[in-house]
Amino acid sequence: MDAIFLQILNGLDKGSAYALIALGLTLIFGTLGVVNFAHGALFMLGSFCAVTLNKILNLSVETIDPTKTDFLGNPLKVKTPYVQAWFGDDFGAAIIDWGVPLAILFTIPVMIGIGFIMERGLIKHFYKRPHADQILVTFGLAIVLQELIKYFFGANPIPTPAPDAFKGSFDFGAMLGMDPNVIIYPYWRLIYFGFAAVIIGAVFAFLQFTTFGMVVRAGMADRETVGLLGINIDKRFTIMFGIAAAVAGLAGVMYGPINSPNYHMGMDFLVLSFVVVVVGGMGSLPGAVLAGFLLGILESFASMTQVIDLIPGINQIIIYVVAIIILLTRPRGLMGRKGVMED
């Protein structure tokens, strides 16, 4: 019982990341009809926004402390980050400590900007081209973005720690009246899950309860008619692309403390996210979210030692196996709509 509960919890954080990326992919696909192979790269870029902010916050001024000397007898050089110099020691240290959550504020405008540039500069010209061309050009873009990041930040993972307050683990078992230390779960993963839930909720609410969202949904259903009604649907779809990019970026920022950002994390997640989208049903937003969590949890169950002993290597391939089974039995995916990508 505890083991099952623990695995479900373990699956949630990975599932959240899958769900967020798949949500963005589906948004882009549903609105613009473009298959975006560069979406994983957007996830990675978000992660590196946090890295960049960390670097900026840690920019230091070097001062000489005359009261202390180093082992050679020279005056000791002390590095003080500018934020500490400006805002005082305690507050400055707190800002640095909270770098990752702060990066959220920094990431949203950056990612929306990147999304705008991508859509207006590149993707726009590919609406009328075949899907194969869209795949290829975004695939090329993904390689370029990934290599640029590698060039500027190096090939090694860069640790981006969570704030001190969220280090450590939460004892679930004790809360539920079980033995302590049986089901413990890192705080940050819990926060990641909550964060993902909020983002997903916000996107759905935005689409469901605002006029803008209504127009976008109408455009997803029948773009031509909405255009004929005199609504500039292209502009709204561009904004949706920006939002999708921001969602992927946010997923990346918050994932930093769980898994140190490296330049190829985007592609690792992209392949899985595509599988998630296909399992959920192309063009279905709830399907993407559902399949994301489902596959995340399945993956964590498959990683249990008992299961691996039974079927070796199942943890590596479970997602693909599920995808193959789903595609063969329910070709449209779990919640796919009729008429979307049927050709």
Partner 1 sequence: MFGLDKKDSTLLLIVAVLTMFAPFILNPFPEGSALAQFNAGYPDLMQRFVIFGIFAIGFNILFGLTGYLSFGHAAFLGVGSYAAVWMFKLLSMNVIPAIFLAIVVSGLFALLIGFISLRRSGIYFSILTLAFAQMMFALAYSVLTPITNGETGLQLTLNDPRVLGQSATADGSIPVTSLFGMEMRQTFQLDMGAWLFQFNVGYYFSAVIMLIAFFIAIRIFRSPFGMMLRAVKSNQQRVNYTGLNARPYTLAAFVISGMYAGLAGGLLASMDPLAGAERMQWTASGEVVLMTILGGAGTLIGPVLGAGFIKYFENIFSKINDNVLHEWFAFLPDGLENFVVFVMHPFIGKGWNLTLGILFMLVVIFLPGGLVEGGQRIAKLFRKGKAKDSAKPTTKPAE
Under rule CB under 8 A, residue 72 binds partner 1: no
Under rule CB under 8 A, residue 310 binds partner 1: no
- Please tell me what DSSP assigns to residue 258: T
CB of 50 to partner 1, least distance (A): 23
Q: CA 223, 224, 230, 232 torsion: positive or negative?
A: positive
Among 56, 104, 327, 334, binds partner 1 (CB under 8 A): 327
Is residue 183 classed exposed, middle or buried when 0-12, 13-18 and 19+ CB atoms within 10 A define those classes? buried
Q: Which residues contact 142 (CB under 8 A, 6 or more apart)?
A: 37, 38, 40, 41, 266, 267, 270
CB of 258 to partner 1, least distance (A): 20
- Nearest CB to partner 1, comparing residues 36 and 84: 36
- Nearest CB to partner 1, comparing residues 218 and 327: 327
Under rule CB under 8 A, residue 62 binds partner 1: no
The 10 Å Cβ neighbour count of residue 58 is: 14
Q: Considering only 10-18, 85-93, 292-300, 309-317, which stretch makes contact with partner 1 by CB under 8 A?
A: 309-317
Under rule CB under 8 A, residue 274 binds partner 1: yes
Q: Considering only 46-54, 181-189, 217-225, 273-281, which stretch makes contact with partner 1 by CB under 8 A?
A: 273-281
CB of 301 to partner 1, least distance (A): 17
The 10 Å Cβ neighbour count of residue 210 is: 11
- Nearest CB to partner 1, comparing residues 128 and 235: 128
Q: Considering only 178-186, 209-217, 253-261, 326-334, which stretch makes contact with partner 1 by CB under 8 A?
A: 326-334
Residues paired with residue 78 on neighbouring β-strands, in sequence order: 63
- Nearest CB to partner 1, comparing residues 201 and 331: 331
Cα R_g (the chain), whole angstroms? 23
- What is the C-alpha separation between 122 and 117, in angstroms, rounded? 8
Q: How many CA atoms lie within 13 A of 268 on its CB side?
A: 11
| CB-CB contact of 100 with 50 (8 Å) | yes
Under rule CB under 8 A, residue 27 binds partner 1: no
Among 1, 328, 338, 339, binds partner 1 (CB under 8 A): 328
Under rule CB under 8 A, residue 178 binds partner 1: no
- Nearest CB to partner 1, comparing residues 43 and 188: 43
| CB-CB contact of 22 with 291 (8 Å) | yes
- Give the helix ranges, DSSP H, for the chain: 2-32, 39-57, 82-87, 89-97, 99-121, 131-153, 172-175, 187-209, 211-221, 223-228, 233-255, 265-280, 285-302, 305-310, 314-329
Q: Which amino acid is at 183?
A: I
CB of 266 to partner 1, least distance (A): 12
CB of 25 to partner 1, least distance (A): 11
CB of 276 to partner 1, least distance (A): 10
CB of 259 to partner 1, least distance (A): 17
Under rule CB under 8 A, residue 1 binds partner 1: no
Please, which of residues 102-161 interact with partner 1 by CB under 8 A? 122, 125, 129-133, 135-137, 139-144, 146-148, 151
Sole residue written with tokens 């970026």: 249
Structure tokens at 121: 């500069």
Q: Which residues contact 39 (CB under 8 A, 6 or more apart)?
A: 21, 24, 25, 28, 138, 244, 248, 270, 273
- Nearest CB to partner 1, comparing residues 94 and 148: 148
Q: Which residues contact 174 (CB under 8 A, 6 or more apart)?
A: 180, 181
Under rule CB under 8 A, residue 320 binds partner 1: yes
Interface residue list for partner 1 (CB under 8 A): 35, 122, 125, 129-133, 135-137, 139-144, 146-148, 151, 267, 271, 274-275, 278, 282, 312-313, 316-317, 320-321, 323-324, 327-328, 331, 341, 343
